Amino acid sequence: MIIIMKKNATEEEIKNIIKEIENKGFQALVTDGIERKVIGIKGDVSTIDSELFYKTGVEEVKRISRPYKLVSREFIPKDTVIDIEGIKIGGSNSPVIIAGPCAVESREQIIETAKAVKEAGAHILRGGAFKPRSNPYSFQGLKEVGLEYLKEAGEITGMPTDSEAVGESYVKLVSEYCSIIHIGARNGKSFELLKKAGKIGKQSRKPILLKRGENATVKEFLGAAEYIANEGCSDIILCLRGIRTYENKENGFQRYTPDLGSISVLKKKTHLPVIFDPSHAAGDREYVRSLCRGAIAMGADGLMVETHLDPDNAKSDAPQQVRPKTLQKIIEDVNLIYKKK
Amino acid sequence: MIIIMKKNATEEEIKNIIKEIENKGFQALVTDGIERKVIGIKGDVSTIDSELFYKTGVEEVKRISRPYKLVSREFIPKDTVIDIEGIKIGGSNSPVIIAGPCAVESREQIIETAKAVKEAGAHILRGGAFKPRSNPYSFQGLKEVGLEYLKEAGEITGMPTDSEAVGESYVKLVSEYCSIIHIGARNGKSFELLKKAGKIGKQSRKPILLKRGENATVKEFLGAAEYIANEGCSDIILCLRGIRTYENKENGFQRYTPDLGSISVLKKKTHLPVIFDPSHAAGDREYVRSLCRGAIAMGADGLMVETHLDPDNAKSDAPQQVRPKTLQKIIEDVNLIYKKK
Amino acid sequence: MIIIMKKNATEEEIKNIIKEIENKGFQALVTDGIERKVIGIKGDVSTIDSELFYKTGVEEVKRISRPYKLVSREFIPKDTVIDIEGIKIGGSNSPVIIAGPCAVESREQIIETAKAVKEAGAHILRGGAFKPRSNPYSFQGLKEVGLEYLKEAGEITGMPTDSEAVGESYVKLVSEYCSIIHIGARNGKSFELLKKAGKIGKQSRKPILLKRGENATVKEFLGAAEYIANEGCSDIILCLRGIRTYENKENGFQRYTPDLGSISVLKKKTHLPVIFDPSHAAGDREYVRSLCRGAIAMGADGLMVETHLDPDNAKSDAPQQVRPKTLQKIIEDVNLIYKKK
Amino acid sequence: MIIIMKKNATEEEIKNIIKEIENKGFQALVTDGIERKVIGIKGDVSTIDSELFYKTGVEEVKRISRPYKLVSREFIPKDTVIDIEGIKIGGSNSPVIIAGPCAVESREQIIETAKAVKEAGAHILRGGAFKPRSNPYSFQGLKEVGLEYLKEAGEITGMPTDSEAVGESYVKLVSEYCSIIHIGARNGKSFELLKKAGKIGKQSRKPILLKRGENATVKEFLGAAEYIANEGCSDIILCLRGIRTYENKENGFQRYTPDLGSISVLKKKTHLPVIFDPSHAAGDREYVRSLCRGAIAMGADGLMVETHLDPDNAKSDAPQQVRPKTLQKIIEDVNLIYKKK
C-alpha cells in the first residue's frame, strides 16, 4: 500500500500518517514523488483497510497487488543513482563497465587483469572467489583467499570490486572484502539469501548486484529485488544475463537467449539501475561485442563483461571471456552509442 | 571416473585399487554392478591419468564427463530403495503417497489434515513451515512452531513427515523435526544449500527430497542430486513438479508444463526413486487427478499431493490443493494403474 | 456469439432467431445443449448488438471473445464421436490406435506393415506420402504413388487410412485416396490450408486430423480447429505431439516436451476427440511405450504410433519408430489402463 | 556438397566439374568465394561419393550436413545485396526502413500513410491485404483490392511495396502487385509455400522476405530460406520478429521475446541480409523505438516497422503500431547508430 500525499500537504499531516501506520504495527517509508511526498507501508497489509489512511492531506491510497512496491517507479519516480566509491551507476554520462575474470585464479592473474581492464576503460573489477558450477567436480574457486586477492587488485588499481555470495553464510564475508555483494542467477529465487543480502547490504552500506534468475519473469525479478529492499537496503543494481528458452548452444545459437527486450520494460517499471551481462547470455566471446552495443543502445546503464588475459586457458567459462583488447573496443563502441540516446 | 572390476576380481585386487585411489588423495566408493564390483572416485579427477588404475583385476576405467556419476545407473544399476520409518520408496508394491497441506496453518489444521490424508490412504505427511513466496508480502509460514505441529501430527497418525528447508541455515532445524529434508524448486540450483543438505542428511540419516528446478534440464537436475550424493548422502528422492515453458495459466493452461516425459528419462539415467508433484505442475486442483494417473502409468514411484481440508480458504496455493476425498479417489486410481505395469 | 434458448422454447421461436440471424447476413448453426437448444452465429459478429437477439424463447445471448466457439464445450457439451468407416473415435470402449510408418517407402513395405499393425491390434493405417522435412535435401516421400500404395494397403487389411496434406494444393488429392485428411504440426497455423481442409473435409465427408503446432497454445490450437469447423466441417480429431521448450534431445532429453497435461485441458474446453502421438514427442522409440501409457491414463481417446518393420533402416524418423511387436505390447498396456478410467 | 576450386583453377577445370555434376543428374551453381570459385550441387547428394569430384583444379569437396548450403556463408562469403527498385538491402550506407500499416484498411488510408512514412524517411511501403489471424472471426484484410490500393500508394510515393502471401495460391497474385513477396511467421515452416515462393520469386525476379517462424531455431530458419534458394531464387531477406518463450504480455512483458541476439548469429552463418521487425516482437508501441535502436546497433541491415496514422483505431494489431512522428525519430536514432558501426 502506498499513500500519495497532496501537493500542499504539511509536515504535520505527513507525520500524522506515519504515526497511524506505526500504530498499526507497520513501518513507514517516505519518498519524493514527482510533485508530492509518497509514503510506503512495509509488510503484509492485505488485511488492513485502506480507508484508515484517508486523512487530511492525503490525495490517494493505492493498494499494490504486484509482488513489488518499494522498487517500483510508482513509489519512486526518479532514477536511483548508486554511488560505489565514486563510480555512479544509473545516472552517469557514460555507461558503467564492470569487468574482470569469471574466477580469481591466482594473485598475479587478478592483479594483472585488473590493470588491463582499468587500462581498457573499465570502472569496477569483478572476480569470482566462490563459483557455483552445475558439475560438482568442476573448479569451485579459490574461496576466501580469492576475495583477498580481489581486494588487493582493487586497491592497487583504485577500482571498486564485485564478487558473488553463493549462499546465506557467504554474504557477510563478501561484504567485508568487496564493494558490491553479487547474487547469482542460480540463486535468483533463493529468498533467504536475498533477505540476508538485504540485511548485510543495509548494515555494511554495500550495494547488491542482483542477477535475474534464468527463468524469472520480469515480475519475479522485481519481486526478488523487493525482498532485498524490504530489508532496508535500497541500493540494488539489476543485472540481466540471458534467459533459458528453446534456443541454445547445441542448436547452433548462444548459451541463453539474450533478454535485451527486458531493459526497456525494467526501465519503465522500476527506478533501479539496469546493467547487462553479455558473457553469460552468449556463452561465446564472438557475440559479446554485438550484445554490448545492443544493450547500451536500448538503455542499459552499464555492462558486466567477463574479461581474461588468456581466455582459452581460463579455469571456468573459457569460451565466453574476452581479452582486454576486445573490452577496449567494446567500451569505445558503447561510449559513442550512449551519447546518441 | 569409475573403475569396473573383472567378474572374478579378488578382494585383494579391489583393496589395491582403493589404496591407489586414496594415495592420490581421493576417496573410493565401492558398489555392486550387475555382475561385478564398481569403484567410484569422488572429487575432481580431471587431471588424473586413467591409465594409473589399469591394474590386475580391472576390466575398464571409464571417465564420466557428465555432471553426475554417483547417482547414475551406470554406477549403480539397481533401483535404490529408500526406507523412511518403514515406508519404502522406489521398490514398493504400490506407489508411495506424500500428502498434506501446502502450509501448516495451525496445530488443529495439521492434525486434522494428517488424520484425513492417512484415512484416504497416504503414507507420508507433508506441510510447509517456512514458505518461499514470490511476493515478499505473502504469508511466509508459521516457522519453527509449524515444524513442531507437523511433528506432533506425524506422531499422532504414525506417519513420517516432510518439510522444506528454505536455506542453508534451516537444514539442521528441519532434520531435527522431520523424517525427510525437502529442497524446493526455487533452490534447485543453490549448490551451497544442496551441499549442506547432503552433509546434514548424512549425519542425521535423513533422506533428501529434491525438487527439480523450474528450468533445470534433466542433466542439471541429476547434477544437483550429485551435489548431495557427493557429501555422502545417498538417500535422495527426485521430485518432478512441472517446468516453465511458453504455456501458462494466463494462456488458459496450467501453471507449469507437467514434465511427465522426464519420468522415464530419469528412470533410465539414475537409480534414484522418482516421484511426481501434480499440485505445483497444474496449479489447479481440477487437473491433479489426471496428472497423478499419468505419472503412475509412466513409471513414477510415488506422488506428492497438496491436500487441504478447506482448499478455498488455504493461506497459500489455494487453487491447487485437493480435498481428502479427492485424494482417496486418486489413490484408488493409481493403485489400479500401478499394478498394470 | 451463441444464443442459448429456454428449456421450453418452441420450434417457432427457434426459427425466428435463425431468421433474424440470416437477415443480418450471417449463418445460424443449431446444436443441442444439455437441456436446451443452442444457436451459434458464424462469422465476425463483433459489430452486432447482442440485444437484437433477446427475443421470446431466448434464455441468454453470450458473446464469446475466445478465438473458438463451434469447437467449444460451451457450444456442444457432449463428446463428439467420429465414425471413420466403422471405427469410432471419441466414445469407444477402447482407445483407437492409428499406426503405420512415418513414410510410405514402397508398395511391399506399406502392405506388409499394414498387415503387421493390424495383427498387433491397430485400427487405422497411417503413412506419409508427402513428407515435410526441415532439410530440403532429405527424402520427401513417394508423392502420389505413395497415396496409391497406402490406399491399397488399407483395402487389403480393411483399415481406414490417414496421410498428410502438406499444402493447399494437396488436400483434394489426399481426400481422394485416404479416409482421414491429416494436417501436420508445421502447418498448424497455416490458416489458408486449414480453411481448405475444412472445405474439402465437408465436401468429401472426410474427417480432419489436426496436429497441434509446435508452439501453439491450447487456445491457438482450438482457434486452428475453429478455422476448419467454420468451413462446415465438424469432424475434427485433435492430435497432440509434443511442444518445443528448453528441453531437447541435445540436452539428453526427448525431441519435444510431451504435452500430456494438455489432454485434460482440451477435454474440458472442447467436445472434439483428442489423441496423442508419442513418436514425434519423444523422437526416440525407447520412450514411446511409457508415453502411450501416460496419455491413455490421462484421458486420451487414442494414439498415433509410428511403426516400422525395420526402424533402423527407415528413410525418415528412424529413431522414433517402433516395431509391430512393441506396438502390440503398447496396445495391451493401454487397453488395460483405459478400462480403469 | 560444395566443391572448392584451387585458386588457380582454369575455366576448363571448372567446366569439367560442372559436366561431372550434370552427368550425375544434378545441377551445378558456381559462386565466387574469397579467393576462388565455389561450386554447389543442388539436390539430395547423400548417396553420391564425394571422391568422384576430386579432379584437377579441385582444392576440397565438402559434404554439408546442415539443412542449408546455398544460403550459407561458407558457400557465398560475401554479403548479398538485394536491389529492390533502386533500394539496396544488405550493403547500404544507412539501414533500410520498411514501414506502413499492419493492414491496408482503405485506399485513402494506405495512400496517406505512404506519404507520411515516406516523409518520415522510410524506403519501402508495407501493408497487409490478406491477414492471417489466430481468431477466424477477426478482420481478415481487404484481399485483392487491398493489393491494388497498396500498389497505387507505392506508385504515388515512388516506394517499392511489400505484402504477405498467406498460402500457395496467393504467391502469384502478390508477385503481380508488389515488389517483395512476404512470407509470414506462421507459415515459416510451410515448405510447400516456401517452394512456391521460390519458384514465383525466380520467375518474377521479385525478392522474398522470409519471417522467422515463432519457434524456429536459427538452423530451421536457414533451412526454410534454403527451400526458397533451392528453387533458384537467391534474393531472400531474413526478417526476425521475436520468438515464443516463457515471457509474454500476460506476464507484464512483451508479446514475444525479441530475438536480437540472433542478428549476429545469422550474420555469421549466412550471406543474406537480416532485418528486424520490432512491432510483432514487442506487441506494444512503447517498446518499438528501443528495439529498433538495439537491432541496428547489433548489425541489422534494416527494420520493418508497423506504422499507422491513428493506431488506436487500427483494424488489427492496434497496440503495436507507431505513428509516423515516432517513425521519424526512430529513423533519426538508427541512422546515427548505424554510422557508429
**Minimal CA–CA distance to D300: which of D254, D335, D257, D267?**
D267
The answer to whether B2-62 and B82-339 have equal CATH topology is: no
Largest Cα separation within chain B, whole Å, is 67
Chains with 3 or more CB pairs under 8 A to chain A: B, C, D
C92 touches A at CB < 8 Å: no
Cβ contact B67–A136 (<8 Å): yes
Residue D251: list chain A partners with CB under 8 A: 217-219
pLDDT exceeds 70 at position A92: yes
A251–C246 C-beta distance less than 8 A: no
Query: Residue D230 corresponds to which cell in the numbers above?
Result: 533451392
Minimum Cα–Cα distance from B246: chain C residue: C245
**Closest residue on chain A to D257 (Cα):** A261
Domains of chain A by residue range: 2-62, 82-339
The whole-angstrom separation of Cα D248 and Cα A224 is: 19
Yes or no, beta carbons of B252 and C265 under 8 Å apart: yes
- C33 has pLDDT over 70: no
pLDDT over 70 (residue C153): yes
Q: Please name the residue ranges forming H helices in D76-214.
A: 107-120, 144-157, 171-177, 191-204
Q: What is the pLDDT of residues B133-145, one digit of tens each?
A: 988 888 899 999 9
Q: Does D286 touch chain A (CB under 8 A)?
A: yes
Q: What tens digit of pLDDT does each residue of C212-240 get?
A: 999 999 999 999 999 999 999 999 999 99
Tell me the pLDDT band of B282, cut-offs 50, 70 and 90. Answer: very high
Handedness of CA B317, B319, B323, B327 (dihedral sign): negative
- Provide the pLDDT for residue B249: 86
Q: What is the pLDDT of residues A141-159, one digit of tens each?
A: 999 999 999 999 999 999 9
Q: How far apart are CA D146 and CA D126, in angstroms?
A: 11
In this complex, which of A43, A134, A230 lies closest to B220 when CB atoms are compared?
A134
ipTM of the complex: 0.91
- Average confidence (pLDDT) over A222-243: 96
Chain B: residue whose CA lies nearest to A215: B215
pLDDT tens-digit series, residues B137-168: 888 999 999 999 999 999 999 999 999 999 99
* Alpha-carbon gap, residue C167 to A224, rounded angstroms: 48
pLDDT of residue C34: 63
The residue to which cell 512483458 is assigned: D253
Task: Please state which architecture CATH assigns to domain B2-62.
Answer: 2-Layer Sandwich (3.30)
Please give the residue of chain A at the shortest CA–CA distance from D337. Answer: A337
Q: What is the pLDDT of residues C89-107, one digit of tens each?
A: 997 789 999 999 999 999 9
Answer for the pair C79, C90: CB distance below 8 angstroms, yes or no: yes
Distance CA D276, CA D258 (A): 9
Distance from CA of B245 to the nearest CA of D (A): 5
Q: Do C193 and D167 touch (CB under 8 A)?
A: yes
Q: Is the CB of residue C204 less than 8 Å from the CB of residue C229?
A: no
Distance between D339 CA and the closest CA of chain A, angstroms: 10
**B245, B250, B330, B335: best to mutate for the C interface, most C CBs within 10 A:** B245
Inter-chain residue contact B246 with D251, CB threshold 8 Å: no
Q: How many residues make up chain A in this entry? A: 341
| Pairwise CB contact (< 8 Å): B248 & D244 | no
Residue of D nearest to A278 (CA): D261
* Interface contact flag, B186 A186, Cβ < 8 Å: no
Cβ-nearest to B245 among D246, D250, D251: D246
Answer for the pair B57, B5: CB distance below 8 angstroms, yes or no.
Answer: yes
* Cβ contacts of D133 on chain C, cutoff 8 Å: 191
Q: Chain B closest CA to C91's CA: distance in Å?
A: 18
Low-confidence ranges of chain D (pLDDT < 70): 33-34, 340-341
Contacts of A298 in chain D (CB under 8 A): 290-291, 293-294, 297
Q: Which 149-188 residues of chain B touch chain A by CB within 8 A?
A: 166-170, 186-187
Has residue A38 got a pLDDT over 90?
no
Residues with Cβ within 8 Å of B292's Cβ and at least 6 positions away in sequence, in order, are B276, B278, B303, B305, B330, B333, B334
Rounded to a whole number of angstroms, the distance between the first and last alpha carbons of chain A is: 35
Q: Which residues contact D198 (CB under 8 A, 6 or more apart)?
A: D208, D227, D228, D229, D230, D231, D232, D233
Residues of C with Cβ-Cβ distance to B291 under 8 angstroms: 261, 264, 298
Closest-CA residue of chain C to A252 = C250
Phi, psi (deg, nearest 5) at residue A40: -100, 150
| A244–C246 C-beta distance less than 8 A | yes
Closest residue in A to C249 (Cα–Cα): A250
Which residues does residue B14 pair with via DSSP β-bridges, in sequence order? none
The three three-digit cell numbers of residue B306, written as one number: 497438496
pLDDT computed for residue D33 by the predictor: 67
d(CA A68, CA A225): 8
Per CATH, which fold does C82-339 belong to? TIM Barrel (3.20.20)
Residues 6+ apart with CB under 8 A from C196: C168, C171, D167
Closest chain B residue to C333, measured at CA: B340
pLDDT at B37 over 90: no
Residue bearing the bigger pLDDT, B323 or A62: B323
- Give me A249's grid cell: 548452444
The answer to whether the CB of A231 falls within 8 A of the CB of A195 is yes
* Residue C65 forms contact with B (CB below 8 Å): no
Q: Mean pLDDT for chain B? A: 93
Highest average pLDDT, of A59-73, B64-78, D19-33, D182-196, comes from D182-196
Q: pTM for the full model? A: 0.93
Interface chains of chain D (3 or more CB pairs under 8 Å): A, B, C
CB of C67 less than 8 A from some CB of D? yes
CB–CB contact C136 D226 (8 Å): yes
Alpha-carbon gap, residue B181 to B162, rounded angstroms? 6
pLDDT at B33: 66
The pLDDT, as a whole number, for residue D44 is: 74
Query: What pLDDT is recorded for position D163?
Result: 98
Task: Check: CB of residue C95 under 8 Å from CB of residue C121.
Answer: no
Cα–Cα nearest to A104, from A112, A94, A92, A96: A112
Under the banding of pLDDT at 50, 70 and 90, the label for residue A45 is: confident
Better-scored residue on pLDDT, D169 or B92: D169
User: Beta strands A37-42 and A2-5: pairing type?
Assistant: antiparallel
The answer to whether the CB atoms of A251 and D217 lie below 8 A apart is yes
Output the pLDDT for position B63: 81
Write out pLDDT tens, residues A185-205. Answer: 999 999 999 999 999 999 999
Distances (CA, A) of D179 to D87, D227, D237, D238: 11, 20, 13, 16
pLDDT at C63: 81
CA–CA min distance D45, chain C (Å): 8
Burial class of residue D19, CB neighbours in 10 A (0-12, 13-18, 19+): exposed
Q: Highest mean pLDDT range out of A171-175, B37-41, B311-315?
A: A171-175
Q: Among residues 222-251 of chain C, which lie with CB inside 8 Å of chain A? A: 244-246, 248, 250-251
HEC profile of chain B: CEEEECCCCCHHHHHHHHHHHHHCCCEEEEEECCCCEEEEEECCCCCCCHHHHCCCCEEEEECCCCCCCCCECCCCCCCCCEEECCEEECCCCCCEEEEECCECCCHHHHHHHHHHHHHHCCCEEECECCCCCCCCCCCCCCCHHHHHHHHHHHHHHCCCEEEECCCHHHHHHHHHHCCEEEECHHHCCCHHHHHHHHHHHHHHCCCEEEECCCCCCHHHHHHHHHHHHCCCCCCEEEEECCECCCCCHHHCCCCCECCCHHHHHHHHHECCCEEECHHHHHCCHHHHHHHHHHHHHCCCCEEEEEECCCHHHCCCCHHHCECHHHHHHHHHHHHHHHHCC
Q: Determine the distance in angstroms separating the CA of A167 from the nearest CA of chain B, rounded to an integer.
A: 6
Residue with C-alpha cell 478410467?
C341
Cα angle B152-B157-B159, degrees, rounded to a multiple of 5? 85
Taking the C-alpha atoms of residue C156 and residue C151, their distance in angstroms, rounded to an integer, is 9
C288 interfaces chain B, CB cutoff of 8 Å: no
